[in-house]
Amino acid sequence: MVGIRETKKADNNRRILEAATRFFLDVGYDNARIEDIADSANIAVGTFYNYYKNKGDILLAMVSMQVEEVLAAGQQVVEHPPLSVELALSTLIDRYFSLSLVYFNKEMWRTAVATSIQRPETPFSQRYTELDKRISQQVSTLVRCLQLKGFVRPEIDVEAVGEMIFNNLNMMFTEFARDDSMSVEELKRRVIWQHTPLATLISVPDQLPADTDLQPRSLSLGDGT
């Protein structure tokens, strides 16, 4: 049997999250007061701080849940990647960004990103950082898959390229969050434009079928180190 404590804790946590989500969306992150969230969750202010280290921490908890979904959405792309680098990347980008404004507004994203940078030691900040790392690895994995299928040049360092792509996604998403006038569609367009050169460069040219000779030919593209 599960103890009373555990039950109450889960219950409190659920109510806190519900209340916080509502207030953040209704009145904005900055205007949402811990007191109101606590009241709404039927707990005392002090109790809130038994569950989350600070105001930013609960936002990062919420964002982390969303990022987990994004990770799952991306996983599908990795498992059934479209058959070209450009296409695979734009599909992945689409999965990553499409739902970004469903549960959070830009202010919330800005605050989340800012908090994770400013307070790297809090629990949910670390969780968020770890999830970011997983997304970065997911991009690398996608590139590796494409490499194994013969769409990416074999001498490419997939780790470095994957990280680079992820870093770009992250930076452009941050730009997007900072600019209230930028739409999700515009974000996607910009990101895809930005990745085109890299996507082209790491691609094995069209005329090479997927499973023929994959060695670089007349142009030596680096020493492969």
Partner DNA sequence: TACAAATTATGAATGCGTTCATTTTATTTC
Partner DNA sequence: GAAATAAAATGAACGCATTCATAATTTGTA
The binding site for a second copy (CB under 8 A) comprises 110-111, 113-115, 117-118, 120, 129, 156-157, 160-161, 163-164, 167-168, 170-172, 174, 177-179, 193-198, 200-203, 205-207, 217-222, 225
Q: What are phi and psi of 179, to 5 degrees?
A: -110, 105
The number of residues in the chain equals: 225
Kindly state the tokens that stand for 174.
């941050």
Angle (nearest 5°) at CA 212 between 209 and 217: 95
Distance CA 77, CA 56 (A): 31
Q: What is the 3-state secondary structure (H, E, C) of 44-65?
A: CHHHHHHHCCCHHHHHHHHHHH
Q: Is 54 in the site for DNA (CB under 7 A)?
A: yes
198 binds, among a second copy, DNA, none (CB under 5 to 8 A by kind): a second copy
Sequence-separated (6 or more) residues with CB below 8 Å from residue 24: 32, 59, 62, 104, 108
Q: How far is the CB of 5 from DNA (least distance, A)?
A: 4
The pattern of x and - marking residues 131 through 170 that bind DNA according to CB under 7 A reads ----------------------------------------
Q: Is 5 in the site for DNA (CB under 7 A)?
A: yes
Question: Using CB under 7 A, which of 10, 45, 65, 83 touches DNA?
Answer: 45
Q: Is 121 in the site for DNA (CB under 7 A)?
A: no
